[in-house]
Amino acid sequence: MKNLIGIILMGLIVSSCSLFQKPSMTQEQIDEMVAENDALKTQVNSCKDLEDQLALARMQADEALLKLSNCENDNSKVHIIVGAFKNSSYANEYSAEMKEKGHDGKIIAGPYSFNLVTASSHESVRAALNSLNTIRDNIIETAWIYIE
């Protein structure tokens, strides 16, 4: 009799334990969350790949410009471009903003009728490269070099 009462009490305790209750989420919801987590992991990895590709492309472009500096023409003018605009009023506004920040802010005619706003102008590619990284760090990371 004592064994029977013990078994009944043990059954009641075990059945009321939260470890044995069904989860509050359905299997469908769990599968959906796992799939969403996998998709997010894939997205993060592709973003990292794109960042690596961008860094490599910038490094290759800078190396190409260094090689170009050995062959540059003495008559050419080298500009660091911080903005390119088809609309001249946008170029004028950005030029004024650059001048307020103490940069060149000159507007020059670029290819395909773009108005290019400069941060600085240099006599050689090597001199422009020396200030390019500073401008990328302090003004806009997409700054680039244009040779006139």
3-class DSSP state of 71: coil
pLDDT band at 70 (very low <50, low <70, confident <90, very high): low
- Residue 88 is assigned to a structural domain of this protein: yes
Predicted pLDDT at 18: 55
Predicted pLDDT at 80: 94
- Residue 126 is assigned to a structural domain of this protein: yes
- Residue 33 is assigned to a structural domain of this protein: no
- Residue 102 is assigned to a structural domain of this protein: yes
Residues 72-96 have pLDDT tens digits of 555 678 899 999 999 999 999 999 9
Give the CATH number of the domain where residue 104 resides: 3.30.70.1070
CA nearest to 95, candidates 146, 87, 33, 134: 87
Predicted pLDDT at 23: 59
- Residue 92 is assigned to a structural domain of this protein: yes
Domain count, the chain: 1
8-13 long-range contacts (CB < 8 A, ≥24 apart) are none
Query: Domain containing 100: what range?
Result: 75-147
- Residue 2 is assigned to a structural domain of this protein: no
Predicted pLDDT at 124: 80
- Residue 67 is assigned to a structural domain of this protein: no
Residues 3-22 have pLDDT tens digits of 666 676 666 665 555 555 55
